[in-house]
Each structure stands twice: as C-alpha cells, then as structure tokens.
Amino acid sequence: MGSAAMHVIRPVRAGDIDAVADLADTAGPGMTTLPPDRDIIAKKIERSLESFSGQRSGCDAGYLVVLEDLETSRVVGTAGVYPKVGEACGFYTYRIVDLFHSSRSQGSRYRIRTLVLSNELTGSTEVGTLLMHPPAGGTGLGRQLARARYLFIAQFPHLFGSQVIAEIRGWQDGPGQSPFWKAVGERFFAMPFADADQKSAVDEAWFIGDLMPRHPLYCCLLSPEAQSAIGRPHRDSATAMKMLLDEGFDYEGLVDVFDAGPVLTASVHRIAAVSESHMTE
C-alpha cells in the first residue's frame, strides 16, 4: 500500500526498533500505546510480528504498521490496530448519564450529570498509536496511514470485532497534569497518572476493575477544572479527533477512566474507508 510515489505503508520489522523509538520520543506525555521505553517498544514489535505471522489472535494480537520514506529509508510514522481489546479483563470507560431530580413541594427540577463505570466496549477493535514525525505533518500522509488500518480491517474482517473504537488523549493543564485524574483517579490509585495510564495500556488492566469505584460519580462534586475536562480532547489530539469524526466515528458520551478524554466508536461498515473499499485483482 502506498500513499505517494516515494512512501510505503508496511508491517513493522524487527530492524525498525530504533526508528520507532525515535518516533516515540516525539510523542510527548499521554501516548500510552507507544511510550518512549525501548523494552516496551521491542515487545510491541515482537507482538506485531507474531500477529502478522498468525501466531497470535484475538485479544493477544496487535498489529503495528509504519510509514517509510523510500527515498531516505526512514520510518516517519506508525499506526496500530488491536483486534479485540479487554477480552481478558474487561475494557473500562465511563458513560456520561444524566439523572433528573425533581421536587413537587419545592417546585424545582434538576438535571445531574453522572459518570457510570462501563465495560460495554469489551471485545471491540481499537485503532491507535497514530504518530507522525513533525516534518511529515500537514502533508496528508498521516490520513493515509490512518486509513490503511481500516483497509486492513476490511480485507480481513474475521480477525476483528464488528465495532471499532478510538481513545482520544484527554485534556491536560500541563505535561502529565490531568485535572480529572487529580479529582478522581488520584484518590483510588496509589500511583501517578502517567504510571497508571501506561500500566493500563501495556499490562493487563485488572487493577482498573479492582480499584475504581463501582457507584456513579456525581460530576457536580468534582472541581470545575475536572468537570471541564470531561469529554474534552488534549490540544494536541484535536486534529486526530476531527479526522476520526470525518471517517464516520461518533462521540456518544463515553470517556476514558483516567483523563476523561473522549472515546469514539463506529460500526465497521460505517467507516468510510471500509464502505468505499473494494478488492482488485
């Protein structure tokens, strides 16, 4: 698959580890599926190699592709597909639910926003790890790299779920400073935000179900900063979110349990790149 005469999108190779590590260094805080950790990156590449060779499937699989500049032999982008997330331990989000309280005697009625812990997206296919070297931004190559994942899903539908999701990095007041985490997660996890976020992306996320509160969270009890962050994308993720919405994804009130970033969803057949694709000989 090629996006231009001098670029090609291909599965990651073992020899790409240095290039992928360099990409991870440019991501900044919050890119949990591609942290700047060489050991983790090596495991992700090994997982991808085993997935493409058929040694892994379902929730154990993870496909990583790269965008290579053929003129310089340089890897300038990455993107990932994770076939069936959370099947081992659940994939957790918060669903925004509005409750209505009324009092006849007081003649008052209130709408109260709550967050309800949910694992309804368990078994969905997740797209993520979309990252481009800054000089390649604005060239249209990032969109082509993103769409290559959907064409892969269209070509091998038996490997993936019927629903595709994308987690958008949530709002931060500063590097690693999530107001929602400070108001909620910090009170239930004995670790910094960055550690919890990375642990959930790299390891099994059993600890989320074990430690997160099971009762609805009343948003009015949170700080104004935390309330403002619910469903709000990070300033660096706004473009990626628009690209997903243009592709056919929707935001329907699901947010990340750590930073409250929006979680977008789409049925496979509603994704434009899938519905418009066809096989050629």
For 95, the token pair is 């669903």
Collect all residues with Cβ–Cβ distance below 8 Å to 34 and sequence separation of at least 6.
20, 23, 24, 27, 41, 44, 78, 80, 129, 131
Half-sphere exposure of 89 (CA within 13 A, CB side): 11
Q: Which residues pair with 165 in a beta bridge?
A: 126, 265
Q: Phi/psi at 202 (nearest 5 deg)?
A: -95, -40
How many Cβ atoms from other residues are within 10 Å of residue 93's Cβ?
26
For 165, the token pair is 């999701």
Indicate the angle between helix axes 238-247 and 141-155, nearest 10 degrees: 40
Selecting among 7, 133, 215, 234, the annotated active-site residue is: 234
The torsion of the CA quartet 209, 210, 213, 214, rounded to 10 degrees, works out to: 60
For residues 93 and 118, is the Cβ–Cβ distance under 8 A? yes
Establish whether 234 is a catalytic residue.
yes
Q: Cα–Cα distance between 185 and 191 in angstroms, integer?
A: 9
For 274, the token pair is 């899938």
Which residue in 70, 72, 80, 82 sits closest to 3, CA to CA?
70
Q: Cα–Cα distance between 246 and 153 in angstroms, integer?
A: 18
For residues 214 and 202, is the Cβ–Cβ distance under 8 A? no
* Active site residues per annotation: 234
